[in-house]
Every structure is written in C-alpha cells, then in structure tokens.
C-alpha cells in the first residue's frame, strides 16, 4: 500500500494543473464575450442592427423625406 502514495500524488497534481487550465480558459472566454458584447453596440446606439445610413435610405425610399433632406443628412453622416 505504501507504493501507491507517490503515484496518486502525481495524478492529483495532473488534475490540479488541468483544472487550472480549464479555469483560465473559461475566464478568458468569458472576458472575450464581455468585450465583444460591449463593442458590438456602443452606448446610445440602438441594438436593432440598423445603421443610420440604412435607416435614412429606407425613409427616403418610403417617401418620408425628400431628395434635398436625404442628401443633406447623408452628407452629415458621411462627414467632411
């Protein structure tokens, strides 16, 4: 029975190392998920998946705004 002690300690050490690796992997995946989620939609931007240009084009296509208004707003969105 005395011969099993060292072998069991070796296996326990291996399980501890594997457990730590698993813990680090889970923490890294959680951190990556949080970062991706926070970068997906900055504060103040709706999460509906519509960009401002798409909304503007849809409003123009439906006749909600005229040519002049569309061009003026599009110029503002595209910047200088």
Query: What CA–CA distances, in Å, run from 11 to 6, 21, 24?
Result: 9, 15, 20
Domain residue spans in the chain?
Answer: 1-41, 49-80
Convert the pLDDT of each residue in 49-80 to its tens digit. Answer: 568 888 899 999 999 999 999 999 888 888 76
Q: Select from 41, 46, 70 the least CA-distant residue to 58.
A: 70
Query: pTM score > 0.85 for this model?
Result: no
Alpha helices in 1-80 (DSSP H): 4-40, 52-61, 67-78
In whole angstroms, give the CA distance from residue 73 to residue 57. 10
In whole angstroms, give the CA distance from residue 78 to residue 41. 19
């Amino acid at each position: 029975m005395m011969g099993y002690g060292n072998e069991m300690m070796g296996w326990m050490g291996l399980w501890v190392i594997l457990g730590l690796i698993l813990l680090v992997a889970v923490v890294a995946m959680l951190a990556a998920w949080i970062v991706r989620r926070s970068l997906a939609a900055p504060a103040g931007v709706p999460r509906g998946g519509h960009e401002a240009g798409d909304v503007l084009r849809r409003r123009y296509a439906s006749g909600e705004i005229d040519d002049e208004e569309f061009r003026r707003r599009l110029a503002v969105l595209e910047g200088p």
